[in-house]
C-alpha cells in the first residue's frame, strides 16, 4: 500500500477493496430525446477455429437501440461514423412523426 492510501485509510476516508469484479466492454450513448446516458454491453466475437485470428476479441455494437427511460429508438453507429439505417439511408429518430 502506498503512503497516500495509508493516510486516507487512517482518516477513515476509504476502505480497502473486498473482492474482485469482472469488467465488460460497453457502449455509452446519450438519448437525443430525454438526454439521459445509457450503457449497452458490447458483443464480443468468439471466433471458430476456421476464422482468421484477427477476429478474436472483435467487438461489435448493436444495430438498434431503445432508451429505457423514454422508449425512443435509434439506429446504432460507432463514434465518428455517419449513422445509417438498414437501407443505407441517413439516420433519423424512429419515434418522430
Q: What is the mean pLDDT of residues 84-89?
A: 56
Domain residue ranges of the chain, discontinuous segments joined by +: 20-75
Residue whose entry in the numeric block shows the C-alpha cell 500500500: 1
Decide if 62 contacts 68 (C-beta within 8 A): no
> pTM score > 0.75 for this model?
no
Q: What is the mean pLDDT of residues 11-32?
A: 84
User: What integer pLDDT is reported at residue 39 of this predicted model?
Assistant: 94
DSSP annotation of 55? G
User: What integer pLDDT is reported at residue 18 of this predicted model?
Assistant: 80
Q: List the one residue out of 77, 72, 76, 79 whose CA is nearest residue 93.
A: 72
Torsion of CA 66, 70, 72, 73, to 10 degrees: 10
Q: Which residue has the higher pLDDT, 47 or 95?
A: 47
User: What integer pLDDT is reported at residue 36 of this predicted model?
Assistant: 96
Amino acid at each position: 500500500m502506498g503512503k497516500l492510501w495509508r493516510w486516507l485509510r487512517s482518516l477513515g476516508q476509504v476502505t480497502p477493496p473486498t473482492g474482485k469484479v469482472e469488467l465488460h466492454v460497453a457502449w455509452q450513448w446519450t438519448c437525443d430525446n430525454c438526454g439521459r446516458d445509457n450503457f449497452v454491453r458490447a458483443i464480443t466475437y468468439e471466433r471458430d477455429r476456421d476464422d482468421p485470428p484477427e477476429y478474436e476479441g472483435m467487438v461489435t455494437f448493436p444495430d438498434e437501440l431503445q432508451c429505457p427511460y423514454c422508449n425512443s429508438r435509434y439506429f446504432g453507429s460507432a463514434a465518428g461514423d455517419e449513422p445509417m439505417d438498414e437501407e443505407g439511408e441517413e439516420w433519423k429518430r424512429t419515434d418522430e412523426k
